[in-house]
């Protein structure tokens, strides 16, 4: 299987390197880090793994890569419009387009441009940091939840899961991708948002602070209620596993906080805006999430007035 990776941040670099290390034909689309990766390769470090992909197939354009069997979209959702014109050279009739992005609306976006039959979605439950152009460190987990857009798992989904498993990437198939998107928002909405509005704090600080912990639990329960109102059945105590996982993780800076600190655009619409809009359309209220949405937009507007 020929695999194209669009997005060479922490997620794209990590999973692309894992797939390449397992012997798959992986091609990375890269920009400023192209020369460094060609010269030094990619280093992956984490509990139970420490390896280097020495010879990396990296390219400056999708035309150089050509048609692929699998295209992994690992850019931030804020870059979706930028990459639309770059995707077509990677496609053939049966190409799978897998988005490993946060929030809601990404599958719909790519389905509108390239057809729903091509689209799959994946949710990454992982704590990972890109230390440099050539290095990524994994500090917790590494699982992927994988599903088809608007339909149950297909034979190709199971084949793809097997490829990930052979690359030592734990993969869980789900028939309801939309439900899993809401499940991950239980974590993403509070921790990504509070880490910024509380002044640049990590997950351990949030859980150790009485008021921030209470706010986190309130937000999590609000997300669960909204998901159920939208027709996605999450149990009332679905928040518990997220808290347990985060407590075991140790101090970790959520990806949105690292984007904030490096001056990058924030995935405000995908993580906070779209859930609020869908909940409102279904007759639900998400006042705490909406407050985070407003605050983050205001902070981002002050930082990037253009």
- Closest of 184, 256, 269 to residue 220, by C-alpha: 184
Any catalytic annotation for residue 184? yes
Cα 125-164-130 angle, rounded to 5 deg:
50
Alpha helices in 9-89 (DSSP H): 10-21, 34-40, 62-65, 80-83
Which stretches does DSSP call E strand in the chain?
A: 2-6, 25-29, 42-46, 49-53, 57-59, 70-73, 96-99, 119-132, 135-148, 171-173
- Say how far apart CA 297 and CA 79 lie, in whole Å: 17
Phi, psi of 230 (to 5 degrees): -85, 0
Of the CA atoms within 13 Å of residue 228, those in its CB half-sphere come to 11
Beta-bridge partner residues of 136: 44, 130
- Say how far apart CA 250 and CA 246 lie, in whole Å: 7
Whether the CB-CB separation of 22 and 107 falls below 8 Å is answered with no
- Closest of 44, 41, 73 to residue 58, by C-alpha: 41
Catalytic hit among 2, 131, 184, 229: 184
Residues serving a catalytic function are 184
């Amino acid at each position: 299987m020929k695999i194209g990776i669009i997005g060479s941040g922490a997620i794209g670099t990590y999973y692309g390197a894992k797939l390449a290390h397992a012997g798959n034909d992986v091609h990375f689309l890269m920009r400023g880090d192209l020369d460094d990766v060609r010269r030094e390769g990619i280093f992956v470090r984490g509990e139970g793994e420490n390896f280097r992909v020495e010879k990396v197939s990296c390219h400056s354009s999708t035309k150089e890569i050509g048609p692929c069997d699998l295209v992994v979209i690992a850019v931030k959702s804020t870059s979706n419009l930028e990459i639309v014109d770059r995707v077509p050279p990677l496609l053939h009739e049966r190409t799978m387009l897998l988005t490993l992005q946060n929030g809601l609306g990404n599958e719909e976006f790519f389905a509108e441009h390239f057809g729903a039959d091509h689209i799959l979605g994946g949710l990454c439950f992982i704590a990972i940091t890109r230390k440099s152009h050539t290095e990524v460190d994994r500090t917790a987990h590494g699982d992927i939840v994988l599903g088809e857009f608007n339909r149950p798992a297909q034979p190709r989904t199971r084949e793809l899961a097997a490829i990930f498993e052979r690359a030592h990437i734990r993969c869980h198939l789900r028939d309801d991708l939309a439900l899993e998107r809401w499940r991950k928002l239980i974590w993403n909405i509070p921790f990504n948002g509070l880490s910024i509005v509380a002044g640049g704090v990590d997950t351990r600080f949030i859980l150790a602070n009485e008021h921030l912990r209470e706010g986190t639990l309130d937000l999590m329960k609000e997300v669960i209620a909204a998901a159920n109102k939208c027709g996605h059945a999450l149990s009332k105590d679905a928040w518990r596993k997220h808290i347990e996982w985060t407590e075991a993780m140790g101090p970790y800076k959520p990806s949105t906080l690292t984007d904030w600190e490096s001056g990058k655009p924030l995935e405000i619409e995908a993580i906070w805006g779209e859930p609020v809009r869908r909940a409102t359309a279904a007759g639900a209220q998400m006042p705490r999430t909406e407050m985070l949405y407003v605050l983050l937009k205001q902070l981002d507007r002050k930082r990037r007035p253009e």
